[in-house]
Amino acid sequence: MDRLLIQGGAVLRGELRASGAKNSALKMFAAALLADESVTISNVPHLRDITTMIELLVSLGVEVVIDEKMNIEIHANTIKSFKAPYELVKTMRASFNVLGPLLAHYGQAEVSLPGGCAIGPRPVDQHLRGLEALGAKIEMVDGYVNATTDGGLKGGHVYFDFSTVGGTEHIMMAACLADGVTVMENCAREPEIVDLADFLNKMGAKVEGAGTDTITITGVPSMHGCSHRVIADRVETGTYLIAAAATGGKIKIRDANPEHLEVVISKLREAGAKITIDGSTIELDMEGRRPKGVSLVTAPYPAFPTDLQAQIIALNSVAEGTSTIKETIFENRFMHVHEMNRMGAKIRLEGNNTTAIVDGVPHLTGAPVMANDLRASVSLVIAGLVAQGDTIVDRIYHIDRGYEQVEEKLQNLGANIRRVASE
């Protein structure tokens, strides 16, 4: 098992290109199951989660063609199986979303209950209730969801109990081939949902309202092929901006989407960063200054994203002043705090572990640390960058799920970081 060895103290400087959004691409792979023709998806990041989703499609008999630029061509009409096995679905929650498209197109699906990051309960009841509202018959058998329809899905009314990104995307996909009109309320509003809706509409769907809390889908008899370019990954972009700010550096990120990062950019400016935006390019310059601590509350888009909470805590750990971070999305998403405290950070948890109080210190000290989930893992890399001495980050398979060539990109920015095999 690989680890990352980081020698702290380097100031990040340079340019990089934003990768495509993993959370968009994964759902588009599932949506491709709705089409009667091949679809091509470009700007796909080269990540472990992407590989897992491709393996899942191939296990269903779907033909997947990949070129050297990571353009993915998917031929779903070669499908031979409607069962998504536990061995693949357990490693990544997004793979559960093949359930709705399989059911909508073929009238049957057998999909294992999902796994993924250990960040507290993340039930799929909103997904299943939404499918049932469209006429699906759901049975739970030995850890699998067995779903069938009686003559196809029917348009219906779906109200989500809370803002669920995966649930919104799942039901939106399934409703595209349902007979009649589906109205979804209390929907999540993330940019990845809008990107998925654009992709579905290129395939012949009739989706309106994506990006608002009410989405209306008029079902169509069939869907055709298309080509689509995935939007920039706002979490990856935000991660590198935060990393540069924590080190007092200067960074330029090309092919980004600043509109998707307005609240993050606002908080980094509050931390003392000088940020300029030129089209799809974001430039951050700390002018060598130590950051100032920023307080925030995570909440669904367009508020501050939970997927950047751990990274901002790493920045706050070496910032001037005291800051407060309140997590409202997931339970157990402060597991990185204990590892950072081992490096000399002064972070305490309050409010039944939903709020982190961070007293900034001048520097951290390198130490062996262990990643517990995808976003926490990269926050420990940031902590290693601002620490004195060497930091070893273990269990970095979490990072490989969501960050493309993380050590190469950081090396190009001047970081002293390399991948090493475990002893």
Contact 308, 375 (CB under 8 A): yes
Closest CA to 345 of 305, 293, 307: 293
Q: Based on the number of CB atoms within 10 Å of its own CB, is 418 exposed (0-12), middle (13-18) or buried (19 or more)?
A: middle
Q: Answer whether 216's CB lies under 8 Å from 181's CB.
A: yes
Among residues 117, 176, 187, 226, which one is catalytic? Answer: 117
Nearest to 269 by CA among 286, 290, 288, 287: 286
Question: What are the residues whose beta carbons fall under 8 Å from the beta carbon of 231, sequence distance 6 or more?
Answer: 20, 21, 24, 43, 191, 192, 195, 257, 260
User: Which pair of tokens denotes residue 353?
Assistant: 């572990």
Structure tokens belonging to residue 49: 């989660």
Q: How many CB atoms lie within 10 A of CB 399?
A: 23
Helices (H), 85-180: 86-89, 99-106, 125-133, 165-175
Cite the DSSP H helix spans in 301-393: 309-317, 335-342, 374-385
* CA–CA dist 302, 299 (Å, integer): 8
- Residue 15: CB atoms within 10 A of its CB come to 13
Q: Is 226 a catalytic residue?
A: no
Per DSSP, the three-state class of 263 is: helix
Which residue in the block uniquely carries the two structure tokens 């926050």?
A: 379
C-alpha–C-alpha distance, residues 146 and 134, integer Å? 15
SS3 for 158-208 is EECCCCCHHHHHHHHHHHCCCECEEEEECCCCCHHHHHHHHHHHHCCCEEE
DSSP state of 293: P
Catalytic residue positions, numbered? 117
